[in-house]
Structure 1
Amino acid sequence: MKTLGLTLAMVLGAGAAAAQNTTITLGMQLEPPNLDPTGGAAAAIDEVVYANVFEGLTRFGPDGSIQPALARAWDVSEDGTVYTFTLVEGATFHDGSAFDAEDVKFSLDRARAEDSTNAQKQLFEGIESVEVLSPTSVRVTLSAPDGNFPFNMAWGDAVVVAPETAETNATEPVGTGPFRFADWVQGDRVELVAYEDYWGEAPALETATFRFISDPTAAFAAMMAGDLDAFPNFPAPENLIQFEADPRFEVIVGSTEGETILAMNGSAEPFSNPLVREAVAKAVDREAVIDGAMFGYGTPIGTHFAPHNPAYVDLLHLSPHDPEAARALLAEAGYPDGFETVLKLPPPAYARRGGEIIASQLRAIGIEAEIQNVEWADWLETVFRGRDYGLTIVSHTEPMDIGIYARDDYYFAYADPDFVALMDELGQTTDDGQRRALMGEAQRKIAEDYVNAYLFQLAKTGVADARLRGLWENAPTQANDLTGVRWAE
């Protein structure tokens, strides 16, 4: 009987291991406010649903390349204004309804409509018309040439949705991806399961759970206890050395598209004064923020552009740490004794920890910044939409998003006409060399106008079970793409 008992235990153990090999539990610091990437600005939405639940015409690959998705191929007219997309065949939405060109037309028309709530509506502004040529072919005509259009269509905001379910995607998302939505226990987790009728290659995983753990100490404990298989954006970089020393884990350090900035409310005094903004920028010691808040993980930036992008221009020299110059600028602006303001900080560690350091640096030049810690939903409502703030710290994780500075409704209220003209010219330029030159001009413009204080490019510091394969090292967009994730044999 003893031998039989051992055999049963071995069988049961093997069954448990097999089940684990098709299941994954990931940690996330922020819970998404909803699950519709076409109707919300929060990066946490895409971190759950991008490439997993929803798909667009194109998609970002792990190396940042633009890859086919629901469009298996596309042709561009000689003048760069007409894109003809050939769609995949046999794809269905998770409710069983068929995907076709009508869904593409609906999604693009909806995103560019006057009453659209899409957070990146500017991605679709150049579309003049969308025509269905056949169930598997759609023609998009642009008002001007745009060599960046396939890139725009890879954003999470550009995923294809069905007219029957578009209005309920916020709570019950229905896409065409390899995983379908199963459950959302608010405040705790979202659960996905593999979609059996997926049109493409079936994922190795059968179930995926995203758990929301905002507290860094709790995140560390959950990883160490084995309650999580991975935390792709681990919120406590000070703990990485402990994970590196433990053979159970792999520490994955890469780059992101996250420009971390000390944003200033340019719609009101004192930050509508460019001298004040320059003073703030020169009061900040980036290296101290990176070391103190991120434990050395992060690359200093002098403008809103990723250093790994070939078009990046190093403009750090425009805003060196110079408290004496900052005090002189404040005096010139009419604030010789400084002023008081409010520094609103969302939950991520880079904001909360960085905010404490920056408040001290600002105090050294006479600016008293009252720290207010706010939850993510409150930040979106009061800062992003309401402009009720003086300063804030946030990481903009959307890919190559310098175009936000041309938006007159954006929360830091810049939209300088010369910059808007630069973005318009960039949108109509297809030559790579000319585009790079224009992007350089744009970077210089916002850096010389000191729109915000540019801090660092957010590093992607992840922790995973050492047996996991296929997690992204870098983050060309905010996503936890599970399509290629599997457990080692």
Structure 2
Amino acid sequence: MFKRKYLATFLTSLLAVMLVISGCSGQSSTETNQKKATDDKQDQPIAKKEGNSITIAIKDNLISMDPQDTNDTLSGSIQSTMLEGLVGFDKDMKMIPVLAESYEASEDAKVFIFKLREGVKFHDGTPFNAEAVKVNIDRVSNPDNKLKRYSMFELVEKTEAVDEYTVKVTLKEPFGAMLNNFAHPAARIVSPEAIKKYGKDIAMHPVGTGPFKFLEWDQSDHLTVEKNPEYWQEGLPKVDGIKFKPVPENGARVAMLQTGEADFIYPIPTEQAESINGKDGIVVENRPSIVARYMAINTTKKPFDNVKVRQAINYAINKEAFLKVVYRGYGSEMDSIIPEGLQFYSKQTPYPYDPEKAKELLKEAGYEKGFETTVWGGNNSDAIKAMEFIQQQLGLVGIKVNVIPMESGTLSDKIWSVQNEEDAEVELYYGGWSSSTGDADWGIRPLLAGGSIPPKSYNVAYYQNEKADQLINAALQTADPEKRKAAYAEVQEMIWEDAPWAFLVVEDTMAGMKNYLHGVYLLPDGSMSAREAEIK
């Protein structure tokens, strides 16, 4: 069914893209689109807005307002208006102090000390202090609580309130990326009194220190926050309230922005971005992200156990055309195993589109006549389009690819629930990853370390390289950024050469807003910040 539905559109798009690419300039689509959005924001008349509250339409339903028991980016985005961590990220994913005024790590990356901001109160009036931080870290690092984010804090040995505004966290073993874990949404601090009062129901009653306070949550319709008049940061908040409204259907979400029923929507469907940008007071903004799209190759299965076959696949796929067809140019080609926006990224020499080189490598590997294989992926339109593109490209070098889209639950069971490596049926898997700690560790270790093979983590390529594992571990044994940088540079070069993935693209984040709205933006990991929302 899916092939009949999408194939005609796919082939038409591919032909058009090939014609465009043959005459394109050196300026990237992302640069062009960003410039256009900026010009439109300046040139359009300012749309009219009544009142000082805003509505944000989002793609999916919200799951939980407990940061320590949340693993979806969307819920974490809404939590950010109400809850804050010791440290966090700015709009470029650079670490910044938030509830901690300063922080330091021991040279062996085992002890972390935070000096806390004084005079801050939770929304329920209780004081923010070292004891409050200890309660939260003790909660998430306790395996008995079975919280979804336990794995990020399982190395915590003890947390101490040294004095009222100093916290000391000691780990069981060195972990150089721990500060980035504290900047992750999972480390946001909830009122200890609220945890005691609501217990497991804290997910429905968030109480933090942020610029907005929780007002109501109708799970069938919306979640609303209101202004916190006692917020510690001068000048914020600038709006009276924010309503977050789940609207799964793309067209309905866009219509809300056009009519003014919503002031900000995300994501914007790429196929509608250009048609609505600059009209009805709408600005579409796309920015580089750290969301990588790749095709994992099961390195334990023939013929993929041969590195020449894996490299051939990388030469056989035209990444520029892939970006045009699947993401309409909103993104960039991968040039390392992690996106450029991550800490300790190191650029590699790209695999150029060279089908003749691919055929040569296949011949050297003993597969001159090609072979047949299967790619798995999601059943949404973008995933299907991506897999069909890969199917077409590999077919040109003699690799016959069968495309198998799956519902997310089925795909999860077939990939992540495999208990033994030899039982893994996956051959090729089209997927993506957002490294929401902003650090190279979270972009490499869960996906490509030997100890991360399912069901432990997400290494669906079943890639194992002893030297690479040594480098990954070495980067975590120190808090020295220069030593970490050197280790990650070497491991990126090594894995890029080993090609356990077809390295594809880094997609843009896409959002639409009315041109009177400022201070609401998407971060490179695909999360949203509305803390500084302002109507001008």
- TM-score scaled to structure 2, two decimals? 0.75
1:143-222 matched pairs, under 5 angstroms: 148-161=177-190, 162=192, 163-164=195-196, 165=198, 167-186=200-219, 188-196=221-229, 198-201=231-234, 202-222=236-256
The alpha-carbon deviation at position 467 of structure 1 amounts to 0.5
The alpha-carbon deviation at position 363 of structure 1 amounts to 3.9
Q: Tell me whether 1:372 sits opposite 2:414 in the alignment.
A: no
CA distance in 1, matches of 2:262, 2:184: 28
Q: Contact 1:275–1:333 (CA<8 Å) still a contact in 2?
A: no
Higher mean C-alpha deviation, range 307-316 or range 53-62: 307-316
Larger proportion of helix: 2
CA distance in 1, matches of 2:109, 2:475: 13
Q: Contact 1:419–1:445 (CA<8 Å) still a contact in 2?
A: yes
Equivalent position to 2:78, from 48, 51, 63:
48
CA distance in 1, matches of 2:145, 2:371: 42
Give the secondary structure class of the aligned counterpart of 1:74. strand
Q: Contact 1:234–1:461 (CA<8 Å) still a contact in 2?
A: yes
CA distance in 2, matches of 1:394, 1:77: 34
Distance 1:323 1:416, change over 3 A: same
CA distance in 1, matches of 2:417, 2:302: 18
Q: Tell me whether 1:410 sits opposite 2:457 in the alignment.
A: yes
* Counterpart in the other structure of 2:469: 420
Deviation string for 1:154-180 (max 9, x for gaps)? Answer: 111222244435633444444332334
* Counterpart in the other structure of 1:298: 331
**Percent identity of paired positions between Structure 1 and Structure 2:** 26
Deviation string for 1:380-429 (max 9, x for gaps)? Answer: 55545567754122242522322323334223143543323212211223
Q: Contact 1:283–1:323 (CA<8 Å) still a contact in 2?
A: yes
- Unpaired runs of 5+ residues, structure 2, are 1-47, 419-423
CA distance in 2, matches of 1:189, 1:265: 42
* Counterpart in the other structure of 1:354: 386
Distance 1:396 1:310, change over 3 A: closer
CA distance in 2, matches of 1:477, 1:229: 22
Distance 1:276 1:173, change over 3 A: farther
Distance 1:214 1:278, change over 3 A: farther
The alpha-carbon deviation at position 70 of structure 1 amounts to 2.1
CA distance in 2, matches of 1:296, 1:84: 44
CA distance in 2, matches of 1:262, 1:187: 36
Q: Contact 1:48–1:479 (CA<8 Å) still a contact in 2?
A: no
* Counterpart in the other structure of 1:6: none
The alpha-carbon deviation at position 340 of structure 1 amounts to 3.8
Higher mean C-alpha deviation, range 153-162 or range 191-200: 191-200
Equivalent position to 1:438, from 475, 487, 495:
487
| Partner AA of 2:287 in structure 1 | G
The alpha-carbon deviation at position 229 of structure 1 amounts to 1.0
Q: Tell me the matched-pair count.
A: 465
| Partner AA of 1:150 in structure 2 | L
* Counterpart in the other structure of 1:338: 371
Equivalent position to 1:27, from 46, 51, 57:
57
Q: Tell me whether 1:229 sits opposite 2:258 in the alignment.
A: no
CA distance in 2, matches of 1:89, 1:425: 37
| Partner AA of 2:242 in structure 1 | A
Q: Tell me whether 1:84 sits opposite 2:113 in the alignment.
A: yes
The alpha-carbon deviation at position 143 of structure 1 amounts to 5.0
The alpha-carbon deviation at position 85 of structure 1 amounts to 1.5
The alpha-carbon deviation at position 77 of structure 1 amounts to 4.9
Distance 1:269 1:198, change over 3 A: farther
The alpha-carbon deviation at position 475 of structure 1 amounts to 1.7
Distance 1:79 1:312, change over 3 A: closer
Q: Contact 1:276–1:333 (CA<8 Å) still a contact in 2?
A: no
CA distance in 2, matches of 1:335, 1:129: 58
